[in-house]
Structure 1
């Protein structure tokens, strides 16, 4: 029976992939998306301030829009616009109506907590993107029909929401859970009786207790938190691997962090190869996903409620702190970007974000298909003296060194420090292999980064005179997140530490004897 039901689901998804596939080019979809956004918001305060009705009459709407509306980071758009909709529940500020939800996002810079507006239009667009991800999984991932009858493990933050005035506040996963169709509830684990628990440790324990009752085939998760859950289940039930109780489980839809550094410690928890599917979801929208298992770049979702612009991420437009130098930087559309270059993303969305600096950086790999990969954060590039190291570089180096030394690297972060007239890189890193010492590890990392990045190699001969590492237990990183109130299914360790985060982390390890 499971084969018949699975076959029906699989074939229906493949038909859906054909029917729902956009027939226009990415650039055509994006121009249409911008026109729809401007039309819907033309009578809002924001639309009237920036003359959206007039912009729609321009022959070149995209250029007119860029010239009229300034680029804004979170703090700028919140203080000037979103605060009225948030604190006063004022309607028609940046998008028609009252904003019903605010997704709480810790981010990595600016405010400690960000309140990102989320409405029914955006939820509908997120669901459209999620459907397409599922359709392409059915079409391209070669799963057996029975796989589609299995349950999905969703690892996220607490789904308990807080009612404030006329809106709800909480983590994105909780808001999505509130709006999930009831018919889908039987396919998701854990249930609300677990996900509503505010304490992350208690949630893990309850999941471990109930795990043998489930039949998981897929997981949608941050890899760090999935690993913690699987390790606890295996420990509690004295298993050799997770497939002893979930024999079909081998598909991981992940996002939020690069998967490569986690593979050496995640894969031994399974008795079969893992199929990875990268996704690019944020509180601001569902932006893209990996279409094929053998092809790591993701495709941009060009008609899911988001209009994209791309600002070259270089010294002309960004300062050393990763802040824009001007509110009217040069921004490029999909016809203007080039492969291999770093770009910061600007978003305009159906939730009322306008030319909003997301904080992520990307590189395009295929312009015709609008395929890209995430390379880092505007605030988390390491360039103390011109070495221009991206998170992508750091993760690639860690993965290569881990494979070479069999170190069992877990969490890591790095910072740039001034030493007289020169600079140093300080790594903080965990490794399961106790025979690996810090000097050997940092030597291998240094050599790999020189191979990966020419700028780094040059600066190692001149301004970057020292690279060192401090070995820490992996639990220290988790304890630091816990101290900051960020121990949940969506939190992640920043790969580059700067400013207050650096002060907080070094104080924490010092206070705890490390």
Structure 2
């Protein structure tokens, strides 16, 4: 039986048949739904949700009355009460699940509230994405009813005083609907395993017994898993063991730096499906074959705002100002970078998620993720984004026929001026100086500001090549090994200090 032919529960089927409205109307409807549900909470009372609901322009009134929050602010003011077991703080009832999310720049784990309402919205978005596959040309229908290998966090969650905490992928797998269980690999028993190495060994051992149609996860870990399977069974490519593998559902990081090395493991092309599923909610998904961007989820469980990623709204370290300019979905422009604020059905209100996005098609409300608010380099006005870096790595990888599965960049003083220092993972034979020059030249082509500053205050570019295992070992020592964790593309602060100590001593 094909997955998209399953008879869905009536409540979900009804939700999937919502009338098509303009994104603006959809978003106002979502905002009102969220406000009505939360108006009797502590947060709703303090920020006058009733007044917002009675306003002629609820979107603008909401922005006037409710402040912007980053994680530190909303946790300090509100979420710590939820974690302590208080009810009706930012969302009705008691929060029983929290997604642990350390991101890629903070040292301590973040506790992101997860509610049944949020999970329901996430599931509906996932089902809509599956249904959108029907529009694809030459769809490999045979593969739709095959297994889904999902490399996620452990479903054996940490137990706190009245709550459970863990990776969102682990919470999602634990609360998986019954109708999806027959498709799910590696299965509930091994999904409970916390040890990532044991989980990978199990998958490698069981690989010949499974008929996989979909692989789902962060590119680096999926690639590692497939490499282990190919090596164990002395295969030419992964399709020798999984001939029906046709889809790769990925998200969390740009796939561009991984693509060249990833495709070396395949016997035939895959259909790549990008998702934007954060710990805070399912934000967007690729709904059209070969679409450049992902379609924002505008009519379910998330109200979206867009802050122009400009100096007037963010300081030099990427921290948002107290009263930034925030636009609604009908006010944005294509081609500009915005930081994303979200309000969700888990009590997340005007929350800076930390990602920057760009609209590729405003009419279809499709976006690409361009980076992180704190993961950019602009020491002297070069305005180098993660999107720029990813594109440069992709170009150089293809031109030099090498695989660069990981990299990170540091901005550092260089005499009276400045320099960028690249640390690149590459297990192929490559000349360090040629790679340094190639990346530098690619960035000059991609980013005019970078090209100008390379002739001025940005005096040099340094580059070190190291094995991919070096990056993986650092993540392991940081306790960040597994499907949810990504290596930061720009290192600053404590993460940079830890990286430098690791490179010097091999320890943290």
Q: TM-score, normalised by structure 1?
A: 0.95
2:456 & 2:46 partners in 1: Cα distance?
A: 50
* Partner of residue 413, structure 1: 408
Could you report, residue by residue, the CA deviation over 1:175-199 in whole angstroms, capped at 9, with x for unpaired residues? Answer: 1111112232111100122121111
Of 48, 51, 55, the match for 1:54: 51
Name 1:503's counterpart in structure 2: 497
1:266 aligns with 2:262: yes
Q: What is the 5 A alignment of 1:386-425?
A: 386-425=381-420
> C-alpha root-mean-square deviation of aligned residues, in Å?
1.9
C-alpha distance after superposition, 1:15-69 (max 9, x if no partner): x799636411111100111111111111100000011111111111111111111
Q: CA deviation at 1:111?
A: 5.1
Partner of 1:109: 105
Q: Residues 18 and 89 (structure 1 numbering): CA distance in 2 closer, same or farther, change over 3 Å?
A: closer
Equivalent in 281, 284, 287 of residue 288 of structure 1:
284
Please say if residues 156 and 489 of structure 1, whose CA atoms lie closer than 8 Å, have aligned partners that are also in contact.
Answer: yes
Alignment of 1:317-332 (within 5 A): 317-324=313-320, 326-332=321-327
**Aligned with residue 441 of structure 1, among 417, 435, 438:** 435
Query: In the TM superposition, what are the counterparts of 1:451-462 in structure 2 within 5 Å?
Result: 451-462=445-456
Q: Do residues 338 (structure 1) and 326 (structure 2) align?
A: no
Alpha-carbon spacing, 1:142–1:97, altered in 2? closer, same or farther (3 Å): farther
Matches within 5 A, 1:112-511: 112-140=108-136, 142-324=138-320, 326-434=321-429, 436-511=430-505
Whether the aligned pair in 2 keeps the contact of 1:279 and 1:290 (CA below 8 Å) is: yes
Q: State the distance in 1 between where 2:35 and 2:236 align.
A: 56
On the 8 A contact 2:260/2:402 being kept in 1, the answer is no
Report the CA distance shift for 1:241/1:21 in structure 2 as closer, same or farther (over 3 A).
farther
SS in 1 for 2:213: strand
In the TM superposition, what whole-angstrom CA distance separates every residue of 1:242-271 from its partner, at most 9, and x where no partner exists? 111110102101000111111111111110
Which residue of 1 is the match for residue 90 of structure 2? 94
Q: Work out whether residues 104 and 487 of structure 2, in 8 Å CA contact, stay in contact via their aligned partners in 1.
A: no
Aligned equivalents of 1:168, 1:7: Cα separation in 2? 30
CA contact (8 A) 2:140 2:246 kept: no
Q: Does 1:63 align with 2:57?
A: no
Q: Distance in 2 between matches of 1:7 and 1:177?
A: 17
Counterpart CA distance in 2 for 1:129 and 1:304 is 8
Deviation at 1:452, TM superposition (A): 0.4
Change beyond 3 A, Cα 1:359–1:22: farther
> Is 1:26 aligned to residue 23 of structure 2?
yes
Deviation at 1:145, TM superposition (A): 2.8
Q: 1:310–1:344: 8 Å Cα contact kept in structure 2?
A: yes
**Deviation of the 1:292 alpha carbon:** 1.7
Distance in 2 (CA, whole Å) between partners of 1:440 and 1:394 is 17
Contact 1:108 1:379 in 2 (8 A): no
Quick check: 1:153–1:220 contact (8 Å CA) kept in 2? yes
Deviations 1:285-308 (A, max 9, x none): 000011122112011000221100
Structure 2: segments with no counterpart, 5+ residues: none
Q: Report the number of matched residues.
A: 505
1:347 and 1:355 in contact (8 A); partners too: yes
SS in 2 for 1:238: coil
Aligned residues of 2:155 and 2:171 also touching (Cα < 8 A)? yes
Q: TM-score, normalised by structure 2?
A: 0.96
Conserved? CA contact 2:356–2:369, under 8 Å? yes
Q: Residue deviations 1:453-501, cap 9 Å, x none? A: 0110111111100001001111000000000011111111111111111
Query: 1:18 and 1:111, CA in 2 relative to 1: closer, same or farther beyond 3 A?
Result: closer
Secondary structure in 2 aligned to 1:409?
coil
CA gap 1:358/1:19 in 2 versus in 1, 3 angstroms:
closer
Output one character per residue of 1:60-94: Cα deviation in whole Å (capped at 9) or x when no partner: 111111111110100100010000011x2100000
